[in-house]
């Protein structure tokens, strides 16, 4: 039985081939090369993605970054940019997708992304976001209003009640 290729694993996880998946795939390969990374079993490799698009799935498959482990975070800016950190070495890189040279159809763009080397697709920039701390484990409280268990860091006190964010009524006189 032959070993499934990295691309095939990404497609299987994501559900289909597309340009967006290719962007994350190429970014992950480039980060692996630049930072000498391997799949993160823990929180050693961290990705702060500036989008929540298809490419994030390839980051999960190839780098081992996931929301559940706490080493995949989102800083929503709508950019095809990934900030990758390696905790042990302290090295990091920000990969920003370059603009393609011409307007292309969806099919042409997919082919372009597939054919290019990662170094041709991304600008390598210095990371400006501080490395996020490791994920914490918080104790939980029962919301005094809805009765649902909520992490301690998400509880708010209002009129001497411990309330989850859904039950807490935000006070803001300036939201007009």
**In terms of domains, do 120 and 154 share one?**
no
Q: What is the pLDDT of residues 140-165, one digit of tens each?
A: 999 999 999 999 999 999 999 999 99
Cα–Cα distance measured from residue 112 to residue 100, given in angstroms and rounded to the nearest whole number: 8
**Same domain for 110 and 63?**
yes
Q: Which of 20, 24, 25 minimizes the C-alpha distance to 7?
A: 25
**Based on the structure, what is the number of domains in the chain?**
2
Residue whose C-alpha is closest to residue 6's, from 64, 45, 81, 53 = 64
Domain range holding 141?
Answer: 136-176
* Tokens at 127, concatenated: 């990371």
Asked if residue 130 belongs to a domain, the reply is no
Output the pTM of the full model. Answer: 0.84
- pLDDT one-digit tens code per residue, 78-109: 999 999 999 999 999 999 999 998 999 999 99
Is the domain of 44 the same as that of 121? yes
- Give 101-142 pLDDT, tens digit per residue: 899 999 999 999 999 999 999 999 999 999 988 888 889 999
Do 71 and 94 sit in the same domain of this protein? yes
Cα angle 168-171-176, degrees, rounded to a multiple of 5: 125
The first and second tokens of residue 59, run together, are 């980051």
CATH, residue 162: 3.30.60
Q: Give yes or no: residues 29 and 66 share one domain.
A: yes
């Amino acid at each position: 039985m032959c070993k499934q290729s990295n691309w095939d694993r990404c497609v299987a996880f994501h559900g289909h081939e597309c340009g967006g998946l290719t962007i994350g795939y190429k970014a992950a390969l480039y980060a692996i090369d630049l930072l000498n990374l391997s799949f993160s079993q823990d929180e050693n490799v961290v990705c702060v993605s500036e989008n929540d698009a298809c490419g994030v799935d390839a980051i999960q498959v190839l780098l081992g970054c996931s929301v559940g482990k706490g080493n995949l975070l989102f800083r929503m800016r709508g950019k095809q940019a990934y900030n990758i950190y390696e905790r042990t070495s302290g090295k990091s890189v920000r990969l920003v997708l370059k603009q393609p040279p011409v307007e292309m159809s969806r099919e042409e763009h997919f082919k372009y992304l597939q054919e290019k080397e990662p170094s041709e697709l991304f600008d390598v920039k210095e990371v400006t976001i501080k490395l996020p701390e490791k994920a914490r484990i918080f104790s939980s409280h029962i919301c005094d209003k809805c009765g649902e268990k909520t992490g301690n860091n998400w509880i708010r006190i209002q009129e001497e009640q411990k309330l989850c964010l859904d039950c807490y009524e935000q006070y803001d006189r300036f939201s007009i």
